[in-house]
Structure 1
Amino acid sequence: MVNAQHAHTEQHLTSSAMLQDIVIGLSDGLTVPFALAAGLSGAVQSSALVITAGLAEVVAGSIAMGLGGYLAGRTEIEHYASELAREHREVRDIPEAERAEVDELLADMGLSPATRAAAVRELTADPEQWVQFMMKYELGLEEPDPKQAPKSAATISLAYALGGLVPLSAYFFTSTPAEGLGWSAVITLLCLLVFGYLKSRMTGQPPVWGALKMATTGALAAAAAFLVARQFS
């Protein structure tokens, strides 16, 4: 008989960085081109024009989103390197102040004075271990993966492009922008509902509420763009 204590398996969300990048790319990719296509549908009478402008936006948007993801990743790396260098300087130049900070952090964890004293001696005996402890527990920083920036750029860019093609797909098979908008709204809102549901399930949020929130955001953006374009057309 298997002991219940050993049978327990913890389930945690893995690859959170990639999931976050996919969510960013898909959510914007489904919403922004949908709103643009809806706005154009209220102002022009050519499906070809909607498709051309929509594809141009998808290309430009995927590049911009990918570049934003890359720059965010590089900024995280540079920030970590800057803070790491500062901690090394402080450990070298003001060790007593840093030891006091270690003791304070251990006190916040609930350790007794005797245990803290032994732990401080152990942690500060190795400068590298000391610095890593301060980075993690004082600053709350984990060393970022140097390969994450290009990975984020590629993931966000691809997710945005795939998401952006969804609302435009209807215009390839309809004769007028109004007809294309109707089918685009059905397809895109269904995708937003499914995407919002799955995203909320994976992140531990209420899935039905997440699905409705995602679809409502897309619908409001498209409706606003359509009404503005119709008003000024």
Structure 2
Amino acid sequence: MHEVAHSPHTHGPHIEGHFESTEVVRDIVIGLSDGLTVPFALAAGLSGAVASSHIVVLAGLAEIAAGSIAMGLGGYLAARGDAEHYVSERHREEREIIERTRDEEEEIYEIFEQYSVSRASAEPVLAALKQNPTAWVDFMMRFELGLEEPAANRAHRSALTIAISYIAGGLIPLLPYMLVADNLTALKLSVVITLLALAIFGALKGKLVGTGWLRSALQTVLIGGAAAAVAYTLANLLNTHSR
């Protein structure tokens, strides 16, 4: 039996803790951030012009419905565009490794040169890739063009994720108007819970992507608060001049 000698500096296997920002996370961020900000600004703006919480709720729900559809459609078209672009570029690469083999070989060497790998060291890799055209195309798509193959049904899932996230975010600033009859009180409650939700959302986003939870929280709160303040001020001014 052989014993494995361990260095005194060995602390077990190294596990890297990188966060991979998936498309789903990106869609949730897009939907929630817009869902929290736009209906919040609309409700605050209407509060400066009308005295009825009922009108604010109806307008807010209409905006959430329209906004979720528009945002979901935008996500669907963007994902479809990414998928179509990937397929188009892949077909082009498949043609080029046959019709312009020498150029593609040189591009392989250029890619490795970016990582300080000599031509002599890259030759075995190129020879192996040439034996497997599919792998060669995969390599070029990833390292030359920086493109990853989109997941199946990506467009539909993106649309649904963004739309649901928008609705979930949009309902938060409207809750006080649904529960409280007094418009001014509802506005104050809406400001508090929405800014709190923006802060929590921003902190979680910053922690996930590694940009710093405090900075991200402050940034999100400032953007959402500024949008609502501008909308409320403009509505108040327009309402005053129209009287």
Q: Which residue of 2 aligns with 1:74?
A: 80
Task: Name stretches of at least 5 consecutive residues in structure 1 with no aligned partner.
Answer: none
Partner of 1:215: 221
Looking at structure 1, the residues matched to 82 and 46 of structure 2 have their Cα atoms a distance apart, in angstroms, of 38
Instruction: Say yes or no: does 1:115 pair with 2:149.
Output: no
Deviation at 1:15, TM superposition (A): 6.1
2:19 alignment partner, SS class? coil
Q: Is contact 1:31-1:218 (8 Å) kept?
A: yes
**Structure 2 counterpart of 1:50:** 56
Structure 2 length-normalised TM? 0.91
Equivalent residue for 1:165?
Answer: 171
Which has the higher mean CA deviation after the structures are superposed, 123-132 or 220-229? 123-132
Q: Which residue of 1 aligns with 2:230?
A: 224
Compute the displacement of 1:161 (Å). 0.2
Q: In the aligned structure 2, how far is the partner of 1:113 from the partner of 1:159?
A: 49
Shift of 1:14: 4.4
> Counterpart in 2 of 1:96?
102
Cα distance between partner residues in 1 of 2:221 and 2:204: 13
Q: Distance in 2 between matches of 1:218 and 1:85?
A: 43
Moved more, 47-56 or 11-20: 11-20
After TM superposition, the structure 1 = structure 2 runs for residues 17-28 of structure 1, keeping only pairs within 5 Å, are: 17-28=23-34
Matched, 1:198 2:188: no
Deviation at 1:72, TM superposition (A): 1.0
Deviation at 1:127, TM superposition (A): 1.9
Displacement of 1:85: 0.7
Give unpaired runs (5+ residues) of structure 2: none
The 4+ residue runs of structure 1 with deviation greater than 6 A are none
In structure 2, distance between residues paired with 1:13 and 1:147: 23
* Cα distance, 1:219 vs structure 2: 0.7
Checking the alignment, whether the CA contact within 8 Å between 2:21 and 2:209 is kept in structure 1 is: no
CA distance in 2, matches of 1:66, 1:204: 27
**Cα distance in 2, alignment partners of residues 196 and 31 from structure 1:** 12
1:50 is paired with a residue whose SS is: helix
Alignment partner of 1:150 is 2:162:
no
Aligned twin of 1:86: 92
Q: Which residue of 1 aligns with 2:189?
A: 183
**Residues in 2 aligned to 1:206 and 1:107: alpha-carbon distance in whole angstroms:** 34
